[in-house]
A and B are shown apart, each in its own frame.
Chain A
Amino acid sequence: MSEYFKVVIIGAGPAGISAAARAAELGVSHVLLEASAQPAHTICKYQKGKHVMAEPAILPLRSSVRFAAGRREEVLHIWKEDLQAHGVNLRLGAAVVGVQGQRGEFKVALASGETLSAEFVVLALGLQGNIRKLGVRGEDLPRVQYQLDDPEDFEDETIVVVGGGDAGVENALALAEHNRVFIINREEEFTRCNEGNLHLLQQAIKEGKIEPRLNTRVDHVEELDVGGFALQLEAKTPEGTEHILCHRVIARLGASPPRQLVESFGVKFPHADVNSVPALSAQYESNVPGLYIIGALAGYPLIKQALNHGYEVIEYLLGHTVEPADEALLQEKLHVFLPNHTVNRALRVIQRDVPLLSGLTTLQLREFLLESDVFAPAQDEIIFERNDYSNTFFTILDGEFLAYTEDKNHETISYRLSRGNFFGEMGLLSGRRRVGTVKAATAGVLIETPRRSMLKLIRTVEAVRHMLDDISLRRAVQACLGGGLNDEELDYLVRNATVKKFDAGQNIFLQGDKADGLYLIRRGSVMIVRMNDGREEVLSYVAAGNYVGEKALISDMPRSATVRTAVPTETILLETRAVTEMLARNEAMRDVVLTRYRENVRAEQQLENRNQERDGLFNFLMQQGVGEATDVLLIDYSLCIRCDHCETACADTHGGASRLNREAGPTYANIHIPTSCRHCEHPHCMKDCPPDAIHRSINGEVYINDSCIGCGNCEKNCPYDVIQMAVVDPQYQQRSFLEVLFGRVAGWGKRDRELSASKKAVKCDMCRDIASGPVCVRLCPTGAARRVSPEKLALTARNDRQEMET
């Protein structure tokens, strides 16, 4: 006979703790299950003294446990107190292996073999997943541990580290300073750790600091007491069985992502995408009746959101109606649109009028609106301008808007957009400047959604993705081929178009290939390369929003050049058949394409005077990933006097911490790329920022705002190592005129003061607060430093001085 509870809450993170506390407060029979040995395990794993932030600041907290920004220890202490005060029924070390059934008849199976019955199940698993254990006898011995808080805690011990991933290698390296360390790896080589760690590891092995055991697996661990050693680990090496006497075993075997587990409970994910979150009702109920999902797993990664969910979910499953914590916020937001409606009614109106949003659940719509901004532009107000660097997405709730753009022949194309329509999707998808200007034809109401929320929505709701794909394709075709197409022709082309994705450095087509069609570049960028005398010449660089391969359509000859992607690229292929048919029928379009053809022939003629260094330089820059940059700092080493004044000036304007490293970075043909932000089209750093603190401003710079919580994700995600975690000195003073006159040194006294503020991510913000532009460029004594975009770079590399100087 299994124990019965009204609600079983799985996972004692913030969401689970809050739910359990609310249940306890209301006297609902409950149990809070936690696989690890402590509640809030993920937060316990934060480094000592880490400052836990309470973002988003505007969201009110509603929970039975207290929470405010503070040091990790304080937050955890308060939660433990609250759990006790409410008398929460917490079970630690209770890993759930299966959930079956539905509302009223859930069976929750634990790893211990026990089964619990419940009316409701609340999943608050988070995203960390379950830490993989050794899976052999002795895996739970006290001295077999699965994490390492502080390597300094151990000295003069013999420690066996199991696992050749980054975590294992880093632990082994840190421990090797004061201990004898073995590292056990299942594989022949350390293929799963990054290059830097691999290099350090190899060195440590060479110096005898770490003793590796490759192709080896752990058979079992047992306790004993021989010569001061507490454990004996039996390992199966290729040579046979080895017994290692040690004090401690540290296994770093990664974690199993929770998705698989959750799917086994019957929960459906709309998408194969790893970031996909399960579809939930407004009450957080999943497709399994009675199974609720809250917190990070439901797509809400912040602590405060999770705490609110915990409270609300208990109310909901008891059948209470509670106003969600965000009700007041939404009311205020929607006030501009429908001042006299309740939030729910206004939401219904939005779903009725906006086809794009009609497929969303109420919960998704609420979140979408919460993250967005609703505002009412006046007539003739400009929403954004062509070449702006903004990347938000706009949905029209009311009014008419006029979008106009220029085609290749500088002819204006305009569209009228009305209620229910949307715009700004090109900037969103390509990450480039706005291709057109949009202004309000009448007074209206718009929803402006940040890029991240929009991308999340595309990942979660299939219908949104379809609709956006279809419309954006249509508009891309129109922007590339000119305005002379009617709806029917557009339909025809769009129906015959296929979206193709390419990795960086892949060939879209090869010189000499038979032409299959015209490629519109929707995202990313490509290089056009031609073989000449057995070596490759880079003819040009083509960015998103343009097309390639149109020449072969006209002349019926094989491809005259190879087109290779510079970065991961998404293209739309318009097939030759459809295009030739269209060209025969539509004179306007034929004109556009023919003009471009003639321009190309001419441009190629002019490119005869080419030199090897130029091609080499261009290839070098592309290899360094400059193709995905929007603005990259280059240093002309034929002018640079290595005075590092760029770094000094940068530090002086940014609280004493320089955001660039002049000496680091590659050099080719006197062009040096220092380690400094390139403001990528699709910034890798934005990928996973919990408080959504990284933005691109109108002028193109990618910057981190004050809501940074110091998690370090962006630092890890940046492939160019340009983000660092640093303490920015809030009291840093730039020198005054007199101080400079009397020779005060920049950053004087900084070292004497204890910098107690927590670390935050810092990166180049292109001196966005300084009207005259980046100081690294402006204060370079010899003008060696400059910032360029890749399109200009193509011209630069072509020795085109006039263009370059602009």
Chain B
Amino acid sequence: MQRESIIEYERYRHFRLSAGAMSLAVVAYVFDKPGTEPYGGTVLGYVLGTLAALIVLFLLFYGMRKRLTPRLPKPENTEVQTRRRFARFALRRKARRPLTFSLKGWLSAHVYWGVALVLFATLHTGFQFGWNLHSLSYVLMVLVVLSGLYGTYVYVHLPRVMTDNMGEDTLPGLLAKIDGYDKLAATSALQFPDEICQLIERSRNETRIGGRLLEQLSGRQKNCPTQLAVRKLHDMGKEFHGARLQSFHDLYAIMNHKEAAVVRARRHVKYKARLAIWLYLHAPLSIAFLLALLTHVLSVFFYW
């Protein structure tokens, strides 16, 4: 049932292509004898720089490609439509073209060519770095690619983990379950001393799922009142006997169920946060990189 991921897309098509291009670049760099130390201004330097810039444009276009939905044709005159209601459409059959592109292919290419970009750009520099705008562009580029690599890792790794965590549940369903446990626990706690009631009450009112950014990313709540309540209840068991012990165990079980559900919900939020967070770096950084790159290109031409 499992289909190929963006990494394996079309039997590593984009890996093969980009690796081929990278090898060519390396070979060219090794055999190039520009007369000076290699840097961006040699012939090969310009060629590599231009190619790298084109790759950058291609990579940036992914963001647009994703958002450009296919155009709808102009609606036909409705009267004509009603008249040709039936299958005589067969006569003017609309052959479905195969998928002209899939966003999956684009994403796969985006990943591999993003990695290739680092090599192209590095060879372009001729390993000449300094405290200047040019190197700033390079650093920004590396940051963009690194954030992208993290993104690739979570995109490939997390989906399966998320499904394992949630099973057949959805987050709204899980929250409803937690709410249900809360209500059950609140009713059940009424017959017990205030201390227990307060534990349950706190667990109900102060347990957070999600919350601040760090809490989302870590999937934890500091001093989580639900976990606290379960721990404390565990130690209180010996205080009750007979029928009350039975009810106490019921309450304990309910809180355990709740804890498990809370942990799962938090984990889900954590994964979702991780799937999303890196884009908040990746996208702005790539804009910053684009600006730095434009300045780099302009300034080079200006001083030429």
Partner of A373, one of B88, B107, B275: B88
Check A392–B87 contact: CB distance below 8 A.
Answer: yes
Kindly state whether residue B73 has any CB partner on chain A within 8 Å.
yes
Kindly state whether residue B132 has any CB partner on chain A within 8 Å.
no
Partner of A639, one of B3, B66, B102: B3
Check A636–B99 contact: CB distance below 8 A.
Answer: no
Check B86–A383 contact: CB distance below 8 A.
Answer: no
Check B67–A782 contact: CB distance below 8 A.
Answer: no
Check B82–A57 contact: CB distance below 8 A.
Answer: yes
Kindly state whether residue B2 has any CB partner on chain A within 8 Å.
yes
Kindly specify which of B23-31, B35-43, B134-142, B159-167 makes contact with the partner chain: B159-167
* Interfacial chain A residues near B88, Cβ < 8 Å: 373, 375, 448
* Interfacial chain A residues near B160, Cβ < 8 Å: 637-638, 670
Kindly state whether residue B236 has any CB partner on chain A within 8 Å.
no
Instruction: State the CA gap A697–B88 with chains docked (Å).
Output: 10
Closest residue on chain B to residue A450 by CB atoms? B86
Instruction: State the CA gap A535–B125 with chains docked (Å).
Output: 65
Check A667–B168 contact: CB distance below 8 A.
Answer: yes
Closest residue on chain A to residue B158 by CB atoms? A641
Partner of B100, one of A699, A772, A797: A772
Instruction: State the CA gap A664–B163 with chains docked (Å).
Output: 14
Kindly state whether residue A705 has any CB partner on chain B within 8 Å.
yes
Known: A384-B87, A799-B1. A740 touches B96 (CB 8 A): no
Partner of A773, one of B1, B96, B107, B162: B96
* Minimum CB–CB distance for A177 against chain B, Å: 20
User: How many residues belonging to B are interface residues under a CB distance threshold of 8 Å?
Assistant: 55
Kindly state whether residue B91 has any CB partner on chain A within 8 Å.
yes
Partner of A638, one of B70, B159, B171: B159
Task: Give the interface SS of chain A, mostly helix, strand, loop or mixed.
Answer: loop
Known: A735-B68, A771-B94, A779-B103. A390 touches B86 (CB 8 A): yes
Closest residue on chain B to residue A382 by CB atoms? B90
Closest residue on chain A to residue B63 by CB atoms? A740
Partner of A783, one of B6, B72, B168: B6
Kindly state whether residue B81 has any CB partner on chain A within 8 Å.
yes
Which positions 364-405 of chain A face chain B at CB distance < 8 Å? 373, 375, 381-385, 388, 390-392
Partner of A640, one of B1, B96, B107, B159: B159
* Interfacial chain A residues near B82, Cβ < 8 Å: 56-58, 705-707
Kindly state whether residue B170 has any CB partner on chain A within 8 Å.
yes
Interface string of A668-680 (1 = CB under 8 A from B): 1111100000000
Interface string of B51-95 (1 = CB under 8 A from A): 000000000000010111111110000110111011111110110
* Interfacial chain B residues near A780, Cβ < 8 Å: 102-104
Kindly specify which of A250-258, A285-293, A560-568, A642-650 makes contact with the partner chain: A642-650
Kindly state whether residue B302 has any CB partner on chain A within 8 Å.
no
Closest residue on chain A to residue B2 by CB atoms? A638
* Interfacial chain B residues near A390, Cβ < 8 Å: 86-87, 89-90
* Interfacial chain B residues near A706, Cβ < 8 Å: 78, 81-82
User: How many residues belonging to A are interface residues under a CB distance threshold of 8 Å?
Assistant: 72
Partner of B163, one of A381, A638, A804: A638
Kindly state whether residue B101 has any CB partner on chain A within 8 Å.
yes
Check A698–B170 contact: CB distance below 8 A.
Answer: no
Which positions 719-759 of chain A face chain B at CB distance < 8 Å? 734-735, 737, 740-741, 746
Check A663–B170 contact: CB distance below 8 A.
Answer: yes
Instruction: State the CA gap A697–B85 with chains docked (Å).
Output: 9
Instruction: State the CA gap A746–B102 with chains docked (Å).
Output: 20
Kindly state whether residue B246 has any CB partner on chain A within 8 Å.
no
* Minimum CB–CB distance for A753 against chain B, Å: 19
Known: A390-B89, A450-B86. A778 touches B68 (CB 8 A): no
Instruction: State the CA gap A43–B103 with chains docked (Å).
Output: 49
Instruction: State the CA gap A375–B9 with chains docked (Å).
Output: 49
* Interfacial chain B residues near A778, Cβ < 8 Å: 70, 99, 101-103
Kindly state whether residue B177 has any CB partner on chain A within 8 Å.
no
Check B163–A388 contact: CB distance below 8 A.
Answer: no
Residue numbers of B with Cβ under 8 A of A are 1-6, 9, 64, 66-73, 78-79, 81-83, 85-91, 93-94, 96-104, 107, 154-155, 158-160, 162-163, 166-168, 170-172, 272, 275
Q: List 22 A-B contacts (CB under 8 A).
A: A381-B91, A384-B87, A388-B87, A638-B2, A638-B159, A641-B154, A641-B158, A653-B69, A663-B171, A667-B166, A669-B1, A670-B163, A695-B86, A697-B89, A698-B94, A705-B81, A706-B78, A772-B98, A772-B100, A773-B96, A783-B6, A797-B1
